[in-house]
């Protein structure tokens, strides 16, 4: 479940995006993020830490301003000391939406992990601030983050590496650029390590808008692949040597497109009304 806030206060949306979201013509995902973040009154804090490109933050500032927000600020955090500055925390505290850009998710985990910025993001989301992340920014949203791995459609022992994420949810594990980079095998391997987790494989230009009640709504032009181990009967991961293919019996897989919903706590998937 996502982080729990104060009793009587709804947590914010959690919005992992599969990367390469449409920024020019059909900006459905970014427009929806702005809409739920208070539209023309939205104050968006952008965290481009994962990217090594100097203009990533500025480009998103321009993009969000073109979408009509009241304020968009890029927090150019490149060192752990910069993730402890009071003025940075204050910008986050004033934001109605926080957007974490793509790049290298290990930059996110090593620079932000355990810092006041990471703690603030978790606390703010629990108290109503919406948090979106694209590509690497999506990967770091859960408690367990996929740090890397091998492409391919078959789960194999050692084909995925994990590290701690932000912990906005402890029920999901997320992979991005999913179909485009052939990542079904590594997501299934990650789920096999801990069958409590439900895997979300996000195609590019596709997002999961997880609302305060925990219902996942699919938005965008691609699909979300759900890897659900709730009915898993057998996993051979404990008997496999490094590189061996893993047997998984009873794993459920859904492919959901725009308008579909999914409830991780019950495993209920539904097509658009």
| Distance between CA atoms of residues 130 and 108, nearest Å | 18
CA atoms of 37 and 34, how far apart (whole Å): 5
**H or E stretch covering 100:** strand 97-100
Cβ-proximal residues to 54 (8 Å cutoff; 6+ apart), any chain:
none
204, 217, 219, 235: which one is catalytic?
204
End-to-end CA distance of the chain: 25
Q: Are 129 and 137 in contact (CB under 8 A)?
A: no
Judge whether 7 counts as a catalytic residue.
Answer: no
Whether 204 sits among the annotated catalytic residues: the reply is: yes
Contact predicate 145/172, CB 8 Å: no
Q: Which of 130, 144, 177, 217 is catalytic?
A: 177
Length of the chain: 273
CA dist 211 and 47 (Å) reads 22
Query: Which of the residues 51, 109, 135, 189 is marked catalytic?
Result: 135
What would the two tokens of residue 50 be?
Answer: 């994962």
130 annotated active-site? no
Which residues are known to be catalytic? Answer: 135, 177, 204
């Amino acid at each position: 479940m996502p982080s729990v806030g104060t009793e009587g206060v709804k947590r914010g949306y959690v919005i992992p995006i599969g990367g390469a979201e449409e920024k020019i013509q059909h900006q459905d995902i970014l427009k929806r993020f702005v809409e739920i973040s208070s539209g023309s009154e939205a104050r968006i804090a952008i965290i481009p830490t994962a990217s090594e490109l100097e203009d990533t933050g500025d480009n998103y500032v321009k993009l969000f301003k073109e979408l009509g927000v009241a304020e968009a600020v890029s927090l150019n955090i490149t060192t752990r000391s910069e993730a402890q500055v009071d003025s940075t925390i204050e910008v986050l505290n004033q934001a109605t939406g926080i957007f974490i850009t793509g790049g290298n998710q290990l930059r996110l985990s090593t620079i932000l992990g355990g810092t006041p910025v990471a703690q603030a993001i978790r606390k703010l989301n629990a108290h109503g601030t919406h948090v979106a992340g694209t590509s690497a920014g999506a990967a770091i949203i859960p408690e367990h983050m996929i740090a890397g791995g091998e492409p391919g459609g078959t789960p194999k022992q050692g084909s995925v590496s994990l590290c701690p994420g932000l912990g906005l949810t402890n029920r999901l594990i997320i992979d991005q650029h999913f179909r485009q980079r052939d990542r079904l095998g590594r997501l299934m391997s990650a789920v096999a390590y801990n069958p409590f987790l439900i895997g979300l494989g996000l195609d590019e230009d596709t997002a999961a808008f997880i609302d305060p009640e925990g219902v996942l709504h699919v938005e965008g032009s691609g699909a979300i692949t759900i890897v659900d181990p709730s009915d898993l009967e057998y996993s051979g991961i404990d008997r496999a040597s490094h590189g061996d293919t893993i047997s998984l019996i009873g794993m459920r897989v859904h492919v959901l497109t725009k308008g579909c919903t999914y409830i991780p706590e019950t495993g209920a998937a539904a097509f658009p009304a």
